[in-house]
Structure formats: C-alpha cells, structure tokens
Structure 1
Amino acid sequence: MSDVLAPQYRNPTLAPPSPGTPDAPDDFTYTTALAWCEFEFGNLVAAVRLAHERGYHVHAWQLPVVLWDFLYLRKHWTDWISIHEAGLASARAAGDSFGEAWVLNNLAHAHRERRRFDLAEKQLHAAMELRDAIGDTTGRAWTFTGIGYLEGDREDHEAAAKAFTAARELFRQVDNQPGEAIAINGVGEACRRLGRFGEAMKHFEDALRIMRKDGDRYTEGYILTSLAATFEAMGRHEDAQAQFDLALLARRELGDRWGEADTLIMRGDALVEHDPDQAHECWLAALTILGELDDPRVDDVRERLRAVPAPRPSPTSEATPSASTP
C-alpha cells in the first residue's frame, strides 16, 4: 500500500511476500489504497500483535514499518504507538538492528507529535546509534530529519537547521531526491522561524521544484504552508493567501486532515491583523479537526480563540422582532 500512497518514497527493503500472495490490483489508486487501509486497519493492527505473540518477529516489525505512510497521514496515534512497540520487541527478539532502528525512528515521530519530546529524543538517538553501527546512510538521513522536526518543535531552530542540513547531505549521497526535498524544506522552515526570509524562500523554491517533479502532493502542501507564512512575514499578504489556498487544496485532495488543520492555524495567524473574523473562522475549523484527531494542539488553538473576540453577527443574522414584541 505504501507504494501507492507514497510511491516517491523509498521504503526499507523488506522480505518478499510468501508464494501465493496476491498482487495488488493494477487499477489500485491512491483513493482505493487509502480506503483499503482504513477498512482493514483493525485487522492489520491485530495481525501485528498476533505475529509478535506467535514469534513471527520479522512480520511483526515489518508490517508497522510498511504502514508508516498511512499512519503518518491519518494520525491513529494510539495504534501507531502500540503496533510499533510490538514491532520493537520483535525486532529486538530477532536481533535485527535494521528493523529496530526503523521502528524506533517511527515511534519517535508519534511521541514527538504527542509532545513527549524527551521520549522522542531518546528513541531518535537510539535509532541513530544503531544506524551508525550498521552503516545505514539512508536511515541516518531519516533520523536526522526526525531530529530536525523535534528541535523545531522545541523552538531550537538553529539546531533544527543543523540537523536538516546533515539529512540533506546524506540524502544527496544516496540520490534520494524526495528525502532531500523534505530536508531542504526543513532548513527553510528553520530559516523562516529565525527571520531569515530570503534564505527561507530559496530553500522552499528548491524543495518545491523537486516535489513537483516527483508528484509528492503531501509534502508540497507542507512546503506551500511554510511559503505562505514567509510571504506574510515579508508583508506580502495577498501572495500569502494565494499560497494558503494552494496548500489547502493539496491537503484536502489527499485527505490530510492533520495537515489541513496545520494550514488553517497558520492562515488564521496570518489573517488576524487583517481580518480577525476570518482568522477566528480558520481557527474554529482547525479546532474541529484537531478535536477529531485528539491532537494536543487543541489547547494552542483555544488560546488563540480566547485572545481574539468572536465574530460579530451581521445585521441580517440577528433575529427579527415578532409582532408581539413591544
């Protein structure tokens, strides 16, 4: 399924399927693959747990790893963590350092998004130690990417830029252009947060060029959101709103609800000085999505809503007095 949901990414090389395993239909599209994963997800979670319990350790760590693209899109954090914990135990039972590193890396992203930063850091560093030991250059690049996201979430943008730069160099070594574009965008986002807008724009343009060549709409939505926020910081409000429109289009097209909420939050931030009522509407829409996802960012959005007065009702929306009203 990952080959359909994110064909531009190079997932780790896994064992071939057993003889007799049916191939995916030739007409399997992104939409049908996503629907299949949603429908079968409960069975897939059960399969990981059963494989771990029965000692099929290779299957138990590989299945969570190949579900990465679906999990990262849909944010089923509880199951994401639980099946990766089972996979981690199986990888360790099998003495498989390659598998252990991948599972640790994926777990760290889930814990980071749940704001368990210390645990995420511990798992990323454990993954990096394993990848250093086995000489996994691609794996090291992805772990540096995870470190970059973690440092950005902690507001240490210099450290984030350093980690993303290291990831970019490693991705170049293995000619992994989609990974390189993600790292370039990470450097750009760090520059934006540091107020280095010219540098940020250059990085975003470079990343977009690669993403559009590879057809990576998921990361394109993320880059466009960062680009929009940069335009807003540079005083180019109309350009910012145009990029927010494109980002929302990409994220809604893919069913990326988490990403849609992220774009709505940042669009609200950009609108608050120009149109507080529209900013309020963006944050309310984001709050609805984050509530559905049980995302810890709900508190951040509620704080924004408390700080900005609610939209005033228009005269046409006010109740018309009845004939009996004095």
Structure 2
Amino acid sequence: MKRYLAQRAQQEDQTQVEHMRAIAYFIEKIKPSKETITDCAEELEIFHHRCELGQYALAQEVIDICVDFLKRQGYYGDLIRIHERLTAEWYPQNPKEQHNLGWAWARLGNLYRSVGKYRAAISSHKEAQAKFNQIDFSKGKAASLGNLGNVYQLLGQYEQAINFHQQSLEITREIGDRWGEAASLFNKSLALARYEPRCFQALVTLQQAREIYAELQLDHRVEKCDEEIYAFNRIIATEQRQSVPILPPTPTIDNAPPQDDWYGSQPTYQITTSLHLTTPNQLGSLVLRWISDRPSHRMAAEISDQRNEPRSFHSC
C-alpha cells in the first residue's frame, strides 16, 4: 500500500511538472496581436493547464488577455465554456479570490444574456451577487443588481428591471461612485421608457446620466445619451399628436437596448515566468484540442453586451 501511494504521489508530481513545462512553453509563444481565434491558442492552453493545476486565479488572469478580442469576434460559445469551467471548479481560498470569482460569474451572466439565455443569465448574476454579499463588496453588489435589471428588461419585466436599477443607483450614490451612478441612471431610463408610455420620467433620468458623463468627460457616453434623448423627444412629440401612446420597439436579441454592462474592473496582467525550462520536443497531449474539439459559435448580430462594455468601472 505504501509503495502504491508513493508511486501515485510520484505520478502526480510528474503531471504537475508537465503542466508547468507546458505553461512556460506557451507563455513564450503568446502572440502580441490577435486576428483570429488561433492567435489566442496559447492563452487557451495556459488557461487549461492552470485549471488542471487548480490555479484558477492565474487561469482567470491569462484568459482576460483574450476576452475583449473574442467578444468582438463573436466567440460567445467559447467564452461561455471557459467561464462555465472557471465558475464550476473554482472554490476561493480568500476574499480576493472570492472577489474575482464574483466577477467571473458576472461575466458569465452577461455572456448568457448576449446569446439570449436570459434565465441562465439571471442565475449567474445571482451567484455573483451572493459572492459579493459574502465579502460585503458594494461595487459588486451594485453591478449584480444592474445586470439583473438589464436581463429583466429584455424579458419585458420592466417594473422589476426598474427596481433593480434603483437599488443599484442607491448603492452607487452611497459609495460616491459617479460612473456607476451614471450607468444606473442610463439603464433605468431605458426601462422607464418601456414602463411609462409618455417617457417624461425616462427623459429626466437620462438627462441626469448625461450630466454625470459630461462631468466625467466621457464623450462617447454623452453622445449615446444625446441619441437616446433625441429618440425620447420624438416619441413624446408623436404621442402629443396622437391619442394612442407609441412605445419604443420591443427589444429582441438582435435589437437589444444599448445598456451599460456592469462588470468588475480587473487589473491588466503581464504574463511572465521565472522558469527557464527547456522546451520539450514532444508535448504529447498538449495539442490545441480547445479549438479543434469545440466549434465556435459566432454571433453576427451586434448586441449591447458587445457594443457597450465600459472598461473603467465594471469590465471583466
């Protein structure tokens, strides 16, 4: 029995060494620019080996390098599988990891929302909310509430959406988070526009968001507010000429409202290694199975999760 346990321990040690050698190898092969998913092959391999070693925080760090690119290219299916594994296997050992796992759940929720899996999105955002509640992280709480509001809005449950956005707004104001306050106001205005036919309160709320964006010198967000204010004013003017109120078009996955996503600000990581290992001639099973075995599901539609991902506050 002792001999068996010793052999097993030796095998496990050898497996760990192989994973570390593979990680060192792929780190040196990372491509600085990305044009196709194959340019992210090294990061995907490193992610796999970090997970196999139980190093989920490091796995999250390396995949963050490719997230924006993969989202722009529409690889939502691949990103969902990555974050499903991360959230299923990761059991945080400290508050910092709990914090990062919360944002992983938040990102997964927004990915589900992007492909129309709204119930799964709600479940993921509630998981994120639970993680943030456990460490009493106010920005995370506000983010989870805002994300839930966005999903319920897409489900047509506008009163619930407004309530979530209002709760998020109250937290951001309490902690003095001006960017978060503007995001909450912006998203609340879109829900109000559907819930309140005449849009007056929606317009007031949107103008409040615009003032904060202008104060923060976020010109692209000011322009987005101006577009929505113009649309609201047209609706109000049309309603004043007609007896039947005109509502904005019902949002669909191909025509989702331009909501601000709520993510957690993640630091930018530089992947380096202090290991100077000889690159193995044969890496055996360390082939790019991630790509070859998993078809990519590319979404052609430009949807809100892709267009409006503010890195400065809640990006993941």
- What is the Cα deviation at residue 142 of structure 1? 0.3
- What is the Cα deviation at residue 262 of structure 1? 5.7
Aligned pairs for 1:90-109 within 5 A? 91-92=90-91, 94=93, 96-109=97-110
**For 2:123 and 2:70, how far apart are their aligned partners in 1?**
21
2:204 matched residue in structure 1: 202
Q: CA separation of 1:217/1:114 partners in 2, compared to 1, >3 Å: closer, same or farther?
A: farther
Q: CA separation of 1:191/1:292 partners in 2, compared to 1, >3 Å: closer, same or farther?
A: same
1:79 matched residue in structure 2: 78
Aligned pairs for 1:131-280 within 5 A? 131-194=132-195, 195-216=197-218, 219-220=221-222, 222-235=224-237
Aligned pairs for 1:276-287 within 5 A? none
**For 2:78 and 2:85, how far apart are their aligned partners in 1?**
10
- What is the Cα deviation at residue 115 of structure 1? 1.3
- What is the Cα deviation at residue 88 of structure 1? 1.9
**Equivalent position amino acid for 2:215 in 1:** K
Counterpart of 1:235 in 2: which secondary structure?
helix
Q: CA separation of 1:263/1:131 partners in 2, compared to 1, >3 Å: closer, same or farther?
A: closer
**Equivalent position amino acid for 1:210 in 2:** I
Q: Please say if residues 172 and 180 of structure 1, whose CA atoms lie closer than 8 Å, have aligned partners that are also in contact.
A: yes
Matched, 1:126 2:134: no
- What is the Cα deviation at residue 134 of structure 1? 1.3
Q: CA separation of 1:236/1:45 partners in 2, compared to 1, >3 Å: closer, same or farther?
A: farther
1:271 matched residue in structure 2: none
Larger relative helix fraction:
1
Moved more, 193-202 or 180-189: 193-202
Between the two structures, name the one with larger relative contact order (CA 8 Å, sep ≥ 6): 2
**For 2:93 and 2:44, how far apart are their aligned partners in 1?**
20
Consecutive unaligned residues of structure 2, counting only runs of 5 or more, are: 1-26, 240-252, 259-296, 304-316
**For 1:60 and 1:150, how far apart are their aligned partners in 2?**
28
CA displacement 1:41-64 (0-9 Å, x = unmatched):
444333323322233221113444
Q: CA separation of 1:165/1:176 partners in 2, compared to 1, >3 Å: closer, same or farther?
A: same
**Equivalent position amino acid for 2:81 in 1:** S
**For 1:260 and 1:214, how far apart are their aligned partners in 2?**
31
**Equivalent position amino acid for 1:47 in 2:** I
TM-score between both structures, scaled by the size of structure 2: 0.58
**Cα root mean square deviation, aligned:** 3.5
**For 1:57 and 1:208, how far apart are their aligned partners in 2?**
39
1:54 matched residue in structure 2: 53
Q: Please say if residues 182 and 213 of structure 2, whose CA atoms lie closer than 8 Å, have aligned partners that are also in contact.
A: yes
Aligned pairs for 1:313-324 within 5 A? none
- What is the Cα deviation at residue 165 of structure 1? 0.8
- What is the Cα deviation at residue 81 of structure 1? 1.2
- What is the Cα deviation at residue 89 of structure 1? 3.9
CA displacement 1:227-276 (0-9 Å, x = unmatched):
34312311369xxxxxxxxxxxxxxxxxxxxx997689xxxxxxxxxxxx
**Equivalent position amino acid for 1:120 in 2:** A
**For 1:42 and 1:217, how far apart are their aligned partners in 2?**
35
TM-score between both structures, scaled by the size of structure 1: 0.57
CA displacement 1:170-215 (0-9 Å, x = unmatched):
1122222111111001111111112241111111111112223334
**For 1:227 and 1:260, how far apart are their aligned partners in 2?**
22
Counterpart of 1:115 in 2: which secondary structure?
coil
Q: Please say if residues 61 and 91 of structure 1, whose CA atoms lie closer than 8 Å, have aligned partners that are also in contact.
A: no
Q: CA separation of 1:45/1:115 partners in 2, compared to 1, >3 Å: closer, same or farther?
A: same
- What is the Cα deviation at residue 135 of structure 1? 0.5
**Equivalent position amino acid for 1:202 in 2:** V
**For 2:169 and 2:34, how far apart are their aligned partners in 1?**
31
Q: Please say if residues 51 and 60 of structure 1, whose CA atoms lie closer than 8 Å, have aligned partners that are also in contact.
A: yes
Identity, % of aligned positions: 17
**For 2:215 and 2:66, how far apart are their aligned partners in 1?**
25
**Equivalent position amino acid for 2:50 in 1:** A
**For 1:48 and 1:109, how far apart are their aligned partners in 2?**
20
Count of residue pairs brought into register by the alignment: 217
